[in-house]
A and B are shown apart, each in its own frame.
Chain A
Amino acid sequence: MSLLLKVSDIRKAYNGSPVLQGASFSCDENGIYALMGDNGSGKSTFLRVCALLEPCDEGEIVYLSNGLILPHDIELRRRITLVLPKIGVFNTTVFNNVAYGLKIRGLERAAIRDRVNRMLDFVGLGHKKEQAALTLSSGETQRLGIARALVINPEMLFLDEPAAFVDVRNKEIIEEIILNLKTEGRTTVILTTHNRQQAERLADRLLILMKGRVTAP
């Protein structure tokens, strides 16, 4: 495993109201981590801070690779990614949505075409690649979000409630995608969920966010 994450005593408040109150977490082995917690416990905030989408007020987020501490720059941000519960869909085709991360990295068209087509087949959207992405169902949109994140081969993938707003069939497909990632073993996944059974099905390690701190169940 090349990318490690160490979160030390992070604190975050919104308008003076504390959300994270000294949360610490260490991701030192490859696998799938499930973070559970009640509504409003700060799971999404925790993921957003860990994924460097927003800063914490106090504490430290450290990414390490081969023993070296990595600066929080664009290079690091391109090795991790976060899939939010509500996917921001670009107003273009399904194919172009998934190609986005590769285009901004300057990959060649042929490579983009190849990787995107394979990824769309992987998430079961290959037959819809020319369709306008905004016309997808909520379950398909969620799969699109996961495909868009996976196509860039992230070393660390944060999934915020990946199957919260989808039907049973799409939930099963999404879980299968996550389990496939586990088998491939290239990506560390940190996901949040309300569902204990789902967490146990998917994760190697369960964590609970309670009163702004991460604990073991």
Chain B
Amino acid sequence: MSSLLEAFGKAFSLMLHLNAELLAIIVLSVKVSGTALVIATLLGLPLSAYFGFKKFPVKGLMISLLNTFMGLPPVVVGLFVYLLLSRSGPLGFMALLYTPTAMIVAQSILAFPIVTSLSHSAIISVDPLIKQASLTLGATPFQTSVTILREARYGIMSAIIAAFGRVMAEVGAILIVGGNIAGFTRVMTTTIALETDKGNFELALALGIILLGISLLINLALHVVQKRGLVGVRS
């Protein structure tokens, strides 16, 4: 118990005196997961809208597949991306393995089904009366779609937060494709795994607390955005 408390104490001390290495790890983590989240959102949101607004023959099957992929094991994604980017793989010529780009690709694959599937659920949950109201007030089909997306915004934001939580916390995929190279592909989760193996719990704990803090900050920021979204054009 005392060693745990001691570890917490040292962790807080590390956080207060952020050294350059620790800071680089945090920045890279946010950069990789943030970029992956942006890519997943840019691809997933239009697709979720398409699934929400259009009818086509294999829609049910595709949604079931997306729901299944939400639970993709990170190590399996890591293995898939590894095989794709390894020298003998189809994209080996790009020499991306063990780079932050490879980590972004892996995390984008993990985040994409979460953003798409949960956003789709949010869109189809919008009251059908909203669509009718929009049309009766003279909206074009495109304006009606935008209105429905706006009504689904809280659900979509939740989808993005959920995806961010997933990619920030995962370790399996980025360990396989990133290699945990110090100063180059080492991020918070891979450092926590490595330092725990080494018995260096202070650094692992400090990074764990920072990870939680980042999640809290993002949730708070989104909460503010949601509150502002309620006001729109001021009277």
Contacts and interface: CB of A to CB of B under 8 A. Distances in A.
Interface string A74-90: 10011001111011111
A4 B134 CA distance: 24
Interface string B51-73: 00000000000000000000000
Contacts of A91: 151, 230
Interface of B: 127-140, 143, 147, 150-151, 229-235
Contacts of B132: 53, 84, 88
Given A93-B235, A148-B137, 14 more contacts: A53-B135, A82-B136, A88-B129, A88-B130, A88-B131, A88-B132, A90-B133, A95-B233, A100-B134, A100-B147, A101-B138, A109-B233, A130-B235, A132-B230
Contacts of B235: 93, 95, 113, 116-117, 129-130
Interface residues of A, number: 37
Contacts of A90: 130, 133, 147, 150-151
B233 A88 contact: no
A23 interface: no
Contact of B233 (A51, A84, A103, A148): A103
Contacts of B138: 74, 77-78, 81, 101, 104-105, 152
Contacts of A192: none
A155 to B, nearest CB: 12
Nearest to B140: A74
A212 B173 CA distance: 64
A107 to B, nearest CB: 11
Contacts of A95: 233-235
Contact of B137 (A89, A92, A101): A101
A112 interface: yes
A53 B151 contact: no
Given A84-B129, A87-B129, A51 B136 contact: yes
B231 A81 contact: no
A15 B3 CA distance: 72
A85 B230 CA distance: 25
Contacts of B139: 104
A149 interface: yes
A96 B150 CA distance: 13
Contacts of B136: 51, 53, 81-84, 149
9 contacts: A74-B140, A81-B136, A84-B132, A88-B132, A89-B129, A96-B231, A104-B138, A132-B230, A148-B137
Nearest to A81: B136
Contacts of A109: 233
A51 to B, nearest CB: 7
A91 to B, nearest CB: 6
A99 interface: yes
A93 B151 contact: no
B133 A104 contact: no
Nearest to B232: A96
Contacts of B133: 84, 87-90, 145, 148
B227 to A, nearest CB: 11
A100 B137 contact: yes
Nearest to B144: A104
A124 to B, nearest CB: 16
Nearest to A112: B233
Nearest to B153: A91
A103 B137 CA distance: 11
A96 B130 contact: no
Contacts of A51: 136
Nearest to B132: A88
A112 B143 CA distance: 18
- B136, B140, B233 — most chain A CB neighbours (10 Å): B136
Interface in A133-177: 145, 148-149, 152
